Amino acid sequence: MAKLSNRDVIRGIRNYFMLPLLALTMTSRLHEYFARNQTTNRNEDTCVPDTINSVCEISSPFNNGSSFSTDSKLSEFIRRVLESRILLLGFPTQQDLRHQIFESVLGAICWGACFLFIRKGCNPECRKNFFAKYWRGTCLGILSIYNGSMLRAIVIMSIFPPGMFCHYFDIAVSSLSPRLWSSMDKSEKLFSCTSLHNALVIGMCWGIGNTLVRRRLDPAMRNPPETFVQRHWKDVSCGALAIGTSSLIKSIWVHYNPTDMVEEILENMFDTFSGKTSFATWLSSIHPFILGSETDRVSYIHYINESMKVGIS
């Protein structure tokens, strides 16, 4: 059976991270160039004086009323491309696109580090030489998480936004159970459809990323290619269902457990811990940014709460 090699990892990083990132950089620069040209052309309208009527006619290569020129067609095409935001994959601005790329990369790397050093390194069954045995598979897992996160953002932004899902969800539920749906207030309806939409998109995108990246690039999982889908669709479906369900549980946790109340309980526990244990005193002395400042302490408690939500779900 073929094993995952360094060449497979390098090929995966090239095809599923470097080349798409290069393409996104080029399309975002092209979007910026088109937007700047459109603004420049609107500002370069020239005044042609009409001596007979004593008026000033505006003449512009992009606003010529006498003939529908090639420049006018190009301007209309550029305007439609800019309005559709297709060069930015549906994101409103370049800053939003860069922020999403950064969040996806950071989340994938954090997942990979936790998977490799905690899931594998702390497990007695696979602790021995865990780094040498599992780092290649972890790299492919990082790529699958990154691509799934980017795909989720693109789906929510442009392909299947929450508003569209909520429209059809409202029609379906109101026809199946009109009395129950009509008795719910507007905020509960919005929470139900948005949380379900988010769970479905997360599960679907995780399944696509795991199938097309993690499993397809690993020779041990890919071969023989003829039975690839048959061998993996059940496992991927169960994994996607688990990921989507965890997202739904997290949404319910956030909605029905106020963050302020949970963080107040954590803060009381934190104060009790820091006041009664010598370990906390030592920790406070060497890490004043955790326990010394009130603002940093509140932020630290907030991060603990957010991590608990993800871990419990």
pTM of structure: 0.76
Do the beta carbons of residue 45 and residue 59 sit within 8 Å? Answer: yes
- Phi-psi region for residue 184, left (φ > 0), alpha (ψ -120 to 50) or beta? beta
Ranges 6-10, 17-21, 221-225, 274-278: which has the least confidence: 274-278
Do the beta carbons of residue 176 and residue 199 sit within 8 Å? Answer: no
**Position of tokens 């060497």?**
286
Nearest to 209 by CA among 20, 26, 5, 27: 20
Mean pLDDT taken over the chain: 79
pLDDT confidence band for 113 (50 / 70 / 90): very high
> How is 55-104 classified by DSSP, letter by letter?
EEEEE-TT--SS---HHHHHHHHHHHHHHHTGGGTT-SSHHHHHHHHHHH
Read off the tokens for 44: 């370069």
pLDDT confidence band for 33 (50 / 70 / 90): confident
Average pLDDT of span 94-114? 93
**In this predicted model, what pLDDT tens digit does every residue of 41-83 receive, in sequence order?**
555 544 545 445 544 444 444 444 444 455 677 777 777 777 7
pLDDT confidence band for 284 (50 / 70 / 90): low
Do the beta carbons of residue 96 and residue 153 sit within 8 Å? Answer: no
Calculate helix-pair angle for 294-312, 228-256, nearest 10 degrees: 130
CA-atom Rg of the chain in angstroms: 27
